[in-house]
């Protein structure tokens, strides 16, 4: 499932995205509050990506992770995703992270609104939530 917004394209991640995703995971200010910590090498990033890349083969699919790229240039700007409970509670948990050079441009809001729309309209979720570290201003 691929998604577009006014300025961005969200495409489900593949192994072709490994170097972009690894770079994102090595920036201290991006992953400062991530429970996984800073990735030390591409092998660590590959291992963390594996369940998300393989999720496209699940039925029903329980998680979606998208590489976020600029619609006009195809430049990688970040990641977003949603995990689905696939039970009677129909809960989704969304996340996103961006390269710092793209912070403060409204991309997170644009992506979150679109994922929420897809969550309720396409996935028929009853609730969508997100977590945030209290210290993460």
Assess contact for 57 and 71: CB atoms under 8 A: no
Enter the tokens of residue 8: 């961005």
- Condensed to tens digits (0 to 9), the pLDDT of residues 32-82 reads 887 777 888 899 999 999 999 999 999 999 999 999 999 999 999 999 999
Class of domain 3-129: alpha beta
Give me the residue spans of the domains in the chain. Answer: 3-129
Assess contact for 92 and 119: CB atoms under 8 A: yes
Ramachandran assignment for 74, one of left (phi > 0), alpha (psi -120 to 50 degrees), beta (any other):
left
Distance CA 114, CA 112 (A): 5
Enter the tokens of residue 44: 């660590």
Classified as helix, coil or strand, 49 is helix
- Condensed to tens digits (0 to 9), the pLDDT of residues 96-125 reads 999 999 999 999 999 999 999 999 999 999
- Rounded to two decimals, what is the model's pTM? 0.92
């Amino acid at each position: 499932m691929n998604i577009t917004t006014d300025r961005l394209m969200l495409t489900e991640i593949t192994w072709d995205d490994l170097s972009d995703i690894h770079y994102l995971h090595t920036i201290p200010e991006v992953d400062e509050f991530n429970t996984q910590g800073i990735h030390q090498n591409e092998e660590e990033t590959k291992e963390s990506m594996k369940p998300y890349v393989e999720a496209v083969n699940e039925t029903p699919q329980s998680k979606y992770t998208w590489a976020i790229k600029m619609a006009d240039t195809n430049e990688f700007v970040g990641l977003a995703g949603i995990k689905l409970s696939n039970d009677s509670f129909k809960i989704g948990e969304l996340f996103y992270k961006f390269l710092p050079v793209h912070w403060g441009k409204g991309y997170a809001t644009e992506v979150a609104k679109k994922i929420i729309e897809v969550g309720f309209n396409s996935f028929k979720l009853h609730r969508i939530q997100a977590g945030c570290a209290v210290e993460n201003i």
